[in-house]
């Protein structure tokens, strides 16, 4: 039971989870403004503005910096992992989403010729660099509020 308490009271996990949740709620709000619809599935979706992955890893890294020092090995590890996650979000996952869009077009054309395909690939997988930057900025601000003001 002590392990569960330690996990739940870990401020670094708390700030990262809070940053992720706020980013996901912002996606829902943006969708309401742009499309005039409430899509609660966005709370667990990837892609879109802002990047919750970027907010998550940035707030974790900043929290480690504030608690362990920005010259610590722990911060260095978080920084490197954050860079990999954000590069992947804007690079590899975004490219995979573009490929899914092309494959969906091909599958639609095949269906129009009589071949029945029940699969539609998810296209919104990655992020634009602006979405990644916005997520990182969000994580940065939340970590500052969480650790310096709180």
The full set of domain ranges for the chain reads 2-83+129-149, 92-125
Taking CA 55 as the corner, what is the angle to CA 45 and CA 8, rounded to the nearest 5 degrees? Answer: 90
H or E segment to which residue 25 belongs: helix 11-35
pTM summary value: 0.78
């742009």: which residue's tokens?
34
| Nearby residues of 122 by Cβ (< 8 Å), 6 or more positions away | 97, 100
Most confidently predicted of 46-50, 75-79, 129-133, 144-148: 75-79
What separation, in Å, do the N-terminal and C-terminal C-alpha atoms of the chain show? 27
Model confidence pLDDT, tens digit, residues 83-113 = 999 988 877 666 666 777 777 777 777 777 7
CA distance 50 to 19: 11
């Amino acid at each position: 039971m002590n392990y569960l308490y330690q996990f739940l009271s870990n401020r670094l996990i708390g700030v990262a989870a809070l940053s992720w949740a706020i980013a996901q709620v912002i996606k829902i709000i943006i969708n309401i403004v742009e499309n005039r619809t409430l899509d609660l599935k966005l709370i667990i979706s990837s892609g879109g503005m802002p990047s919750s992955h970027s907010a998550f890893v940035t707030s974790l890294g900043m929290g480690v910096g504030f608690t362990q020092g920005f010259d610590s090995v722990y911060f260095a590890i978080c920084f490197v992992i954050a860079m990999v996650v954000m590069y992947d979000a804007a690079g590899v996952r975004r490219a995979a989403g573009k490929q899914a869009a092309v494959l969906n077009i091909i599958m639609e054309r095949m269906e129009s010729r009589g071949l029945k395909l029940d699969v539609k690939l998810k296209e919104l997988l990655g992020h634009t660099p602006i979405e990644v930057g916005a997520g990182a900025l969000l994580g940065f601000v939340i970590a500052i509020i969480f650790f310096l003001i709180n």
